[in-house]
Amino acid sequence: MELSPWQFAKSINKKIHLSAPAMFIHELVKNPGCIGAICPSSQKLARCMVSRIDTTQEGLIVELGAGTGVMTQALLDHGVKPENLLVIEFADNFYLHLKERFPQLSIIHGDAAQLRDLLPADVQINTIVSSLPLISLPPPVRQAIVSQWQSLLCETGQVVQFTYNLKSTYWQKDIHTTHYEEEFVWANIPPAKVMRFRFHS
């Protein structure tokens, strides 16, 4: 019986357990436009990303582009309850790895550009934590992703996003936000800029 690409990836994953850096290199070769790094984020960057998330607020926390789960683990360590965290990952190998590493979490194999279709109906989202390589995506795809963030987040909701392009101002040009702030994490390879913002005043 011929296997689908997803079934084939699953069968390979059971036989070969790649290290986190090896998984990133594999996905970079396989899907160069969807992977924004050649190695996982550092714990320093992950802690910075989640440090200002209010775990007492109602609503779901959605993580996009979880990779090998560095940010996912930081969210759990920060106090996010498993039932309040939804993880979405596009890459087959990363998805399978996350399912094995975090069996207690809801993890969806899907495309962030179709976020609205992947979420439960009438869900309330208070935070989106994104490791997506937005700056390297085609502008229409980036705009489709961000427009869904704007419509899906609750009134007090926030987005936490990072980029390795420390000088770029594309964010301010392409996306209208409020309460924008940024923070640099130098202890990461490469150094990163963490951006936090809201769409509503």
pLDDT digits (tens, 9 = 90+) for 49-106: 999 999 999 999 999 999 999 999 999 999 999 999 999 999 999 999 999 999 999 9
Question: Dihedral of CA 60/105/73/93: which sign?
Answer: negative
The DSSP call for residue 3 is: P
Give per-residue burial for 9-27: e unless 16+ CB within 10 Å, then b: bbeebeeeebeeeebbebb
Q: What is the pTM of this model?
A: 0.80
Mean pLDDT for 164-178 is 70
* DSSP code string of 46-76: HHHHHTT--TTSSSEEEEE--TTSHHHHHHH
